[in-house]
Structure 1
Amino acid sequence: MIRRLFALVLGACLACHALAAEKQLRIGTLAPKNSLYHRQLMVLGEAWRTAQGGGKYLVYPDGSQGGETDMVRRMRIGQLQGGLMSVVGLREIEPSIAALQNMPLMFRNWEEVDYVREKMRPAMEKKFLDKGFVVLAWGDAGWVRFFSKKGALRPEDYKTARFFAWGGESEQQEIMKRLGYTPVPLETSDILPSIQTGMIDAVPCTPYFALATQIYTSAPNMLDLNWAPIVGALVITRKAWDEMTPEGQQRLREAGATVGAQIRAQARKEVDEAVDAMKKRGLTVNTPNAAQIKEWQALAEALYPQIRGKLVPAETFDEVLAHLKAYRAGKP
């Protein structure tokens, strides 16, 4: 009788534990605490909790769960259920996503980025699903610009600089070395102390990130050139998705669409606001002239053959070119 009673209690405890596990969503991100991205993730969490009738929803900002490669690993072993990441992390799941971010000077404006993303989105989301992840929201974080200790206007000016490079992007580092640049592989949390101590001299990042992390105080020169867009997405594991109620899935889909639109709209607005704020605090904006812009375009053209088939799958690279050609053909 005692054994049967113990078995019943144990079974009830295990059932409660399983139920609790189903109602838990832990999201990692490099976004700073209380930033636009963090706030929108909390909005999404409220929608999820309401639809699920409660549950434990946690967001880990500031890269507290490691770099984006680490976050993907944590999702795969169940330590996290989701992540708001840039292409750096997303390409660990599906390499073709790199086409939206790793093709410098390919996109002229946000309208082109949006057009290509929407054309590629259905097939891209299917690829993520096949690999065990559900895309809930698409976002971006502004254009990459170069922040450096010394002022620079031409590609040649950066040959003596030591560049921050994502630790997990060895192919990109090799390309930089072949072109005569010096990458220093680091994690995001190491950028500020590294530029303060002189370990690196230049950081490719968005103005908002430079302001939020105070990078510009040690790298007070910004090149006014939109090198590439930072594109990202919020993904959760298919396992976490399948454990939700149909109502929870629907509410999360709706909330994800809203959150993605809010992030894109506000992030684009904050680029100019961040630059203005940094200029008031000592940032020098270096604007290249027409001849110098041609030098940057020539550098990008030299990069494309090395990117195609390496950083970006060849067929995806060609697909982006085809979509851009079609879009531009329809514009005056």
Structure 2
Amino acid sequence: MPASQLFAAESALHINLGTIAPRGASYHQSLLAMGEKWRRATDAKVKLKIFPDGNQGGEADMVRLMRIGTLDAGLLTAVGLGDIETGVAGLQSMPMTFRDLQEFDYVNEKLRPRLEKRLLEKGFVVLFWVDAGWVRYFSKKPMVRPDHLRKMKLFAWAGNEKQVDIMKKAGFHPVPLETAEIVTGLNTGLIDAFCVPPIFSLAGQLDLRAPHMLDLNWAPLVGAAVVRKETWDRIPATAKKSLLEAAAHAGEEIKAKSRRESDESVGAMKRRGLTVHPVTPEVAAEWRKVVEGVNHRIRGDIVPAEVFDEVQMLLKEYRAAKAEKST
């Protein structure tokens, strides 16, 4: 049946999607391409409008707007997703847990069905999952060891009071801000350091204000595009297949591009003055000690205990299978 007949009872459905992704970045471009596919697949009966650059506010703001129906959808990091379903924190808020992105991919694939079910129960349909590779520390002055960072004012995601409390108890000085406020915070001296994917730093020219990067894979930056179930339910079931296929393609494209661009962006920033500080085994051990000292708080306060434990179990499973293959 033609799409025009599927939507015969309604005028065009306008879906507004917010994201903190910068305008023109690969994230934004892939979302625009997805929207065009949606328009063509439904004879312009579904029109997706993208609001990049945090135009709709920070992630906590966007979740609130979606809950009241002012915003239909969002491409959110685990920070925003965690405001809906805390279990998502198991993919991002366990520092130095994953040794490489292959380990992360394995755990992500195993946890995803459960997380999608929980998000659906809370009124949100997952269109696709993404990640932007590793987040790394950037700072105004050289910063290598935990004690160096303890002397700085560190950006923290606004809205996560428990995480701020854990950081303080570990001796750090977090300053809760929205990502859109990082530049202002650096310019005014409100913050001296922040932890983001390199591509985010490059796109926002943050490295020009914080020209030092610690080459430590702290944690993956995880995200997902979600849409309000009430909005999604207005689309006929026969049309959803094409829309989900377009969304899956956008997700894979964003994931592949962002991981590649994350590495490329470090080179681009180095060419304009970024200093990359290597991490020796001794320094890595110091950072791991910090993580071990707060894991008992992360488990339960940030990441639900059962999710925290399952991540650890899945990693043991993956590493054992990998070791067996290599023998």
Q: Give the TM-score normalised by the residue count of structure 1.
A: 0.93
Deviation at 1:43, TM superposition (A): 1.4
Separation of aligned partners in 1, 2:20 and 2:238? 29
Q: How does 1:121-270 map onto structure 2 within 5 Å?
A: 121-270=112-261
Q: How does 1:272-291 map onto structure 2 within 5 Å?
A: 272-291=263-282
* 1:127-152 Cα deviation digits (max 9, x unpaired): 11111110010000121110001101
Give the structure 1 partner of residue 18 of structure 2: 28
Separation of aligned partners in 2, 1:246 and 1:176? 46
SS where residue 322 of structure 2 aligns?
coil
* 1:42 corresponds to 2:61: no
Separation of aligned partners in 1, 2:194 and 2:264? 19
Give the structure 2 partner of residue 103 of structure 1: 94
Separation of aligned partners in 2, 1:182 and 1:326? 36
Checking the alignment, whether the CA contact within 8 Å between 1:138 and 1:260 is kept in structure 2 is: yes
Separation of aligned partners in 2, 1:189 and 1:125? 28
Give the aligned length. 315
Separation of aligned partners in 2, 1:238 and 1:199? 39
Checking the alignment, whether the CA contact within 8 Å between 2:35 and 2:47 is kept in structure 1 is: no
Give the structure 2 partner of residue 311 of structure 1: 302
Separation of aligned partners in 1, 2:293 and 2:172? 14
Checking the alignment, whether the CA contact within 8 Å between 1:223 and 1:286 is kept in structure 2 is: yes
SS where residue 309 of structure 1 aligns?
helix
Deviation at 1:51, TM superposition (A): 2.4
Kindly name which structure, 1 or 2, has the bigger radius of gyration based on alpha carbons. Answer: 1
Give the structure 1 partner of residue 4 of structure 2: none
* 1:18-59 Cα deviation digits (max 9, x unpaired): 833x61111000000111111111111122212222143210
Separation of aligned partners in 2, 1:270 and 1:89? 23
| Counterpart code for 1:51 | A
SS where residue 84 of structure 1 aligns?
strand
Separation of aligned partners in 2, 1:28 and 1:132? 17
Checking the alignment, whether the CA contact within 8 Å between 2:129 and 2:225 is kept in structure 1 is: yes
Checking the alignment, whether the CA contact within 8 Å between 1:51 and 1:247 is kept in structure 2 is: no
Give the structure 2 partner of residue 6 of structure 1: none
| Counterpart code for 1:192 | V
| Counterpart code for 1:245 | P
Give the structure 2 partner of residue 300 of structure 1: 291
Give 1:79's match in structure 2, choosing from 65, 70, 78: 70
* 1:48-95 Cα deviation digits (max 9, x unpaired): 212222143210000000000111111111111110010010011111
Separation of aligned partners in 2, 1:213 and 1:239? 34
Deviation at 1:248, TM superposition (A): 2.4
Give the structure 1 partner of residue 59 of structure 2: 68
Greater displacement, 238-247 / 215-224: 238-247
Q: Percent identity?
A: 50
Runs of 4 or more off by more than 4 Å in structure 1?
A: none
Greater displacement, 99-108 / 52-61: 52-61
| Counterpart code for 1:220 | P
Checking the alignment, whether the CA contact within 8 Å between 1:52 and 1:245 is kept in structure 2 is: no
Checking the alignment, whether the CA contact within 8 Å between 1:128 and 1:135 is kept in structure 2 is: yes
Checking the alignment, whether the CA contact within 8 Å between 2:38 and 2:47 is kept in structure 1 is: no
Checking the alignment, whether the CA contact within 8 Å between 1:125 and 1:135 is kept in structure 2 is: yes
| Counterpart code for 2:40 | T
SS where residue 102 of structure 2 aligns?
helix
Separation of aligned partners in 2, 1:247 and 1:110? 36
Separation of aligned partners in 1, 2:103 and 2:141? 32
Checking the alignment, whether the CA contact within 8 Å between 1:29 and 1:61 is kept in structure 2 is: yes
* 1:258-314 Cα deviation digits (max 9, x unpaired): 111111111110111100000000000001211111111111111211100000000
Q: Give the TM-score normalised by the residue count of structure 2.
A: 0.94
* 1:52 corresponds to 2:37: no
